[in-house]
Structure 1
């Protein structure tokens, strides 16, 4: 029996369905797991995605030919039954379930199993073959509960505010920024967002996600507010002249990579907060086990370590070579200079 998903130069391809999943080259038909730029790219003829992703996809890709599916809704295409299921990664993220001639495959894209009020929770989907990420696929990566993390972030912000210092928290504009905004305590002070964050906030708000009031720096009339605010911006902004408007600010980076000592120092940040939109090591293993799959394909991250671990535990495991990864997520989310706010 032939594989339902194979590797091609354009991306992951479903031969019987004649479509691609998160292709990295332009193709006629693309199924998109989520709107991060390494998974949703310009140039495809037709896009299929989960309904909650509409706002963020259109914010990122503009006027595209977009077909939307509710989570769990099934469609048939060339004999392949396709449905989308929550991945818990960011707003509208989905796992792609394919069924054809008795086989069930699930391509998960990126996913997170920890609770997150800004997107639908991860839903395990039973399958024969599971295609998984492994961004943090090493035993050192284990996340603490959000309550502890945000208590730490709020304490850092409040302490800085009492010393008349802005708290600049760098994180990805899409997904991470909204999760930060949803979790912090807005009573501590005003919140300023970078121009790359604002349109994505608007898409989240339109989807019914609760976010606090925010301002662009150009909308701040009282300069004293710039000395006690929380600033949410992409990492690139921390190295730009835009940051000078906040004076002697304290900087921090929110990322799962902050789990490793030395990453904060190499980035030149004052603080590092371990916050990820990906599953940690236990989360990855739990998610894989919950599918019941006997064959697992790893797409990106610590794939060699994950494949070896799964093989040692009796599963048929291998890796696909893909072009997914965090290094390109922010590349096309930066606004032109006049929009940076």
Structure 2
């Protein structure tokens, strides 16, 4: 009889029975290892959390008073003989792949990742393993990203053109990851960067964590509309179509997402400009990352899991499709994919859709990751 796998997929999340901990669980558990602070991976309600130290302030900002231990990349925590370490995922600031080892058997959980160095997140590093649990958000050949330098040259030219033509510039991206990537690549010789409060709250949390971000100014009731219109406005998706955004009219509105490469996505977002910018690996990045692990088997958690697993099996990998609750920051396309392509698989099996109850005490005293392995 084959032994029980070191990691298994349960209705709470990815579970290590030998070490008695979960990775990115979506239901309340005692001990959770978190890949990054996006809401579909870092849920409220666990007793103890373990994450990378650059996720600390953002997780506390998003989840409140939780019992959180943070470690560096490459640092090892021992739990019941299982070795746990975090390794750069390149997705957003503080994102990590989780390496789990017991008696020579190695599993790696990717979380979300991208392979291009964005200049602000610690760049992705492939980790050798026997079994690799990977996302495949953009696991179709149609998704191939242009170099970041090309994208932001276009963005800065667009901003400059808007100024010359009397339009304010509004650029939309998720508050954690996309917003900071945009901020660090804008040409501040053109003007100042003004931020929606949701994005500025995240920026402030990252700055408390020691991240050096370009200067920004929060938009408040006292902000001068005319001064704001001379700069560029960095806003979250929730602001699209709201009175808050409309008060800066006339404006040109750009939406940053990998899904902007899909036909009609810009129209469905009512955007003037679709900016194809993703914090996930494209088709080539996924294949190169998986190949670099040297893994014997790969498990695909969210995205184009069915079609991508078929392709990987055709080229010689032992690939499997699994169902999780991951996918939510940029994983929902703004329209169905082109005809003939499979839709991303996000729905878990029946009975696995319950989210975390906020009635769970998130800050118990003692135990958990505090001092684990010491």
Q: Fold-level match, TM-score > 0.5?
A: yes
Q: Does the Cα contact within 8 Å between 2:88 and 2:122 map onto a contact in 1? A: yes
Superposed displacement of residue 9, structure 1:
1.1
- State the alpha-carbon separation in 2 of the partners of residues 329 and 193 from structure 1: 24
TM-score w.r.t. structure 2 length? 0.85
Q: Indicate which of 53, 56, 81 corresponds to 1:51.
A: 53
Distance 1:221 1:24, change over 3 A: closer
The answer to whether 1:179 aligns with 2:181 is: yes
Deviation for aligned residue 1:192 = 1.2
Q: Deviations over 1:315-338 (max 9, x none)?
A: 1110110001125889xxxxxxxx
- Contact preservation (8 Å) 1:38, 1:328: no
Structure 2 gaps, min length 5 = 333-374
Are the aligned partners of 1:168 and 1:232 in contact in 2 as well (CA < 8 Å)? yes
SS across alignment from 2:44? coil
Which of residues 78, 92, 95 in structure 1 aligns to 2:94? 92
Whole-Å Cα distance in 1 between the matches of residues 53 and 221 of structure 2? 33
CA distance in 1: counterparts of 2:244 and 2:282, whole angstroms:
33
Aligned partners of 1:186, 1:326: CA distance in 2, in Å? 31
Aligned residue pairs, count: 330
What displacement does 1:219 show?
A: 6.7
Question: Which of 295, 298, 310 is the equivalent residue of 2:297?
Answer: 295
Partner of 1:229: 231
Contact 1:171-1:177 at 8 Å conserved across structures: yes
Distance 1:66 1:222 in 2: 40
Question: Separation in 2 of the partners of 1:280 and 1:329?
Answer: 13
TM (normalized to structure 1)? 0.93
* Alpha-carbon distance in structure 2 between the residues aligned to 1:79 and 1:226: 56
Q: Structure with the greater relative contact order (CA < 8 A, sep ≥ 6): 1 or 2?
A: 2
SS at 1:239 equivalent: coil
Counterparts of 1:257-272 in structure 2 under 5 Å? Answer: 257-272=259-274
Superposition map of 1:108-127 within 5 A: 108-127=110-129
Supply the distance in 2 between the matched residues of 1:272 and 1:282 (Cα, whole angstroms). 22
**1:115-140, CA deviations, whole angstroms, 9 ceiling, x for partnerless residues?**
11211111110000000000000011
1:217 counterpart residue number = 219
Q: Does the 8 A contact of 2:137 with 2:331 survive in 1?
A: no
Where 1:268 maps in the other structure, the secondary structure is coil
Residue of structure 2 equivalent to 1:325 = 327
Distance 2:319 2:46 in 1: 30
Match of 1:336 in 2: none
The answer to whether the 8 Å contact 2:39/2:329 transfers is no
Q: Indicate the SS of the match to 1:246.
A: coil
> What pairs up with 1:132-211 in 2 under 5 angstroms?
132-211=134-213
Q: Give 2:108's match in structure 1, choosing from 106, 126, 137.
A: 106
Contact 1:113 1:283 in 2 (8 A): yes
Deviation, 1:5, is: 1.2
